[in-house]
Amino acid sequence: MATTSPPPPPCNVVPILPVQCSGERERVLLLIFPPVLRRAFSFILLCALVVMLVDNVEKTNAATCNPQELVPCAAFLSSGATPSVACCSKLKAQQPCFCGYVKNPSLKQYINSPNAKKVASACGVSIPKC
């Protein structure tokens, strides 16, 4: 004698395990996380992703701070002469790093010098108050 499987439950009954219900597959996830909780979980996940991306951008910016990049400006920083285009582009690229350079005792004198302020002004770069 052949055994038959029980008939699928009616769709107004919420199954505990995934079962066939009127041709649609019910998921356990829908039972555990109602729509309100799924939205909250999605929002929390999105916030965590944004925090990770912002943290990664800050680390990337910190990794690009290299005082050696300002070598094209060395002659202009010592003389106060009008800087070259290459010097100005390097100054603009390194501008987010200036506060870090000011905190470094071996670089502070160069950033705070009158010639550095002239060169920065000629390039349209401001030296921040740190």
Domain boundary among 28, 62, 96: 62
pLDDT tens-digit series, residues 46-75: 656 666 766 655 554 445 899 899 999 989
Q: Which domain holds residue 32?
A: 20-62
Closest CA to 9 of 30, 26, 32, 27: 26
Asked whether residue 79 falls in the same domain as residue 94, the answer is: yes
- Give the number of domains in the chain: 2
Asked whether residue 116 falls in the same domain as residue 81, the answer is: yes
Neighbouring CB atoms inside 10 A of 78's CB total 13
Residue of 110 and 12 predicted with greater confidence: 110
Q: Looking at 60-64, 79-83, 118-122, which range is the least confident one?
A: 60-64
The CATH number for 77's domain is: 1.10.110.10
Is the residue at 14 inside a domain? no
Check if the beta carbon of residue 87 is closer than 8 Å to that of residue 78: no
| Number of residues in the chain | 130
pLDDT surpasses 80 at 113: yes
Predicted pLDDT at 108:
87
pLDDT surpasses 90 at 86: yes
Share of the chain above pLDDT 90, in %: 23
Q: Beta strands 24-25 and 20-21: pairing type?
A: antiparallel
Predicted pLDDT at 60:
45
Is the residue at 3 inside a domain? no
Q: Retrieve residue 7's tokens.
A: 């008939």
What would the mean pLDDT of 99-108 be, rounded to a whole number? 89
pLDDT tens-digit series, residues 9-24: 555 555 455 545 544 5
Predicted pLDDT at 79:
87
Cα distance between residue 103 and residue 58, in whole Å: 18
Percent helix / strand / coil, the chain, rounded to 5? 65, 5, 35
Residue 53: strand, helix, or coil: helix
